[in-house]
Structure 1
Amino acid sequence: MTSLEMGPTGQRRGRGARERILRAAGELFREHGVNATGIEQVSESAQVSRRTVYQHFGGKDGLVEAYLQLHDAAPVPALERDGLTPRERLVAIFEDALDATPPLCPFIGAAVEIADPEHPARRIARDYKVDLAARLAAVARDAGAAEPEVLGDQLALLLDGVSARTRATGVDAMPTAVTVAHVLLDRALGPPT
């Protein structure tokens, strides 16, 4: 690292600070929660000054909001995957997560920890959850579900439940969720052909 990349306190500065801050915040929020994570911890982990965090995000509320917006913009790969039937895309959401780290939903974490229902992070979480259920319903419609909104809501609830249960117990609940997803799909669409 050149001296131009180091600030006066020896911390990294310059290019990539925003991304480092968001990455550090994400790791800390997942590990410790939103409320237990302070700006000081984020700045130390990101190797930037507290001032840099405030310059980019205005404070912790802005940081939490940006963190959730980053996740909100991320696609759900299984819903967009080519070469799969709509039913296979719905199953893939759950099966893909079997190989991933435990599914701790950042939106649920923030919504549970932030008491103010009008906080921007709560609004982002609420909008994301409504949109995800609608996207699941659209794929369920393509799969031929008689009641696609019901199936979309059931699958969204299952995803939320697996995240909450995993967070509460520390045990990955996704294997059970995959089984339940198959039951829901069989009930709504009939057995796979």
Structure 2
Amino acid sequence: MTELQKGPRGQRRGRGARERILAAAHDLFREQGINNTGMNQLCEVADVSKNTAYQHFTSKDQLITEHLRQQDPGTMPEVFDRADLTPRERLLAAFETPAASTLETTPLCPFIEAAVEIADPEHPARILVREYKKSVAVRLTETAREAGAIDPELLGEQLALLLDGASVRTRALGTGAEQTAAGIAAMLIEHAIPQTAPLRL
């Protein structure tokens, strides 16, 4: 087997380079935004040459799109695929956050970030954002239907809007809005889904 070409500071190009590029994109886009991150800086952080970067991603636009795909490829499986929870409990779980969460650990939703920073509605990343946000609403609606909601489509859209609003408010104010959002979600679910037992928060 021939030796792989080496990139900056002796790193081998090829194997592992793609993962390093995506990891660098994740950190830089999160810390300083998409538009403020250039390919030169990204390559330096990923420890790859620009030639190597463009072998894996033909453009920054393609990198942004793949970065978003990596964020949540299964549409919140940690919530919607939990067999240990009832459908009603899964709806509430969508609003749970780790006890130690801070603005640094729960930044603005990367899909919202991309929608704000990328002006072109036909940009592949913007198209992916629309598809993802619709998929979240669909999964919420499906779960609401399983839970017996009177109008699952309405509840799904309400909860999707609430999730996005909490993310933006947390980013804007520097304080978590998740607890307030969880309380509002509980009230919406209480109203929309007939029940015989009290909600578990």
Normalised TM-score (structure 1)? 0.90
Amino acid at match of 2:12: R
1:7 aligns with 2:9: no
Q: Displacement, 1:177?
A: 1.3
SS at structure 1 position matched to 2:94: helix
Matched, 1:60 2:60: yes
Mapped contact 1:98–1:174 kept (Cα < 8 A): no
Residue in structure 1 matching 2:179, options 172, 175, 178: 175
Aligned amino acid, residue 94 of structure 2: I
Moved more, 87-96 or 111-120: 87-96
2:83 & 2:48 partners in 1: Cα distance?
41
Cα shift at 1:137: 0.2
Alpha-carbon separation, structure 2, partners of 1:160 and 1:167: 11
User: Superposition RMSD on alpha carbons, in Å?
Assistant: 2.0
Alignment partner of 1:121: what SS?
helix
Identity percentage of aligned residues: 53
Residue 166 (structure 1) aligned with residue 170 (structure 2): yes
Alpha-carbon displacement from aligned partner over 1:16-64 (angstroms, at most 9, x marks no partner): 1111111110111111111111111211111111221111111210110
User: Cα gap change, 1:173/1:68 in structure 2, threshold over 3 Å: closer, same or farther?
Assistant: same
1:79 lines up with 2:80 in the alignment: yes
Residues 85-123 of structure 1 deviation map (CA, whole Å, 9 limit, x = unaligned): 101011111114555532521111001100001000000
**Offset, 1:157:** 0.5
Contact 2:149/2:194, CA 8 A, preserved across alignment: no
Where structure 1 has 5 or more consecutive residues not aligned to the other structure, the ranges are none
Greater alpha carbon shift after TM alignment, 47-56 vs 147-156: 47-56
Q: AA paired with 1:85? A: T
Q: Which runs of 4+ in 1 moved over 3 A?
A: 96-100
Number of corresponding residues: 190
Q: 1:9 to 1:25 in 2, by over 3 A?
A: closer
- TM-score, scaled relative to structure 2: 0.87
Report SS of the residue matched to 1:95.
coil
Deviates most, 52-61 or 123-132: 52-61
Q: Structure 1 residues 160, 60: closer, same or farther in 2, change over 3 A?
A: same
Q: Where do 1:1-193 residues align within 5 Å?
A: 7=6, 9-14=8-13, 15-76=15-76, 77-96=78-97, 100=101, 101-190=105-194, 193=197
Structure 2 vs 1, CA of residues 127 and 158 (structure 1 numbering), >3 Å: closer, same or farther? same
Higher helix share: 1
Question: Does the 8 Å CA contact 1:145/1:188 hold for their aligned counterparts?
Answer: yes
**Quick one: which amino acid aligns to residue 167 of structure 1?**
R
Stretches of structure 2 that go unaligned for 5 or more consecutive residues are none
Q: Deviations over 1:145-169 (max 9, x none)?
A: 0110111001110111111112222
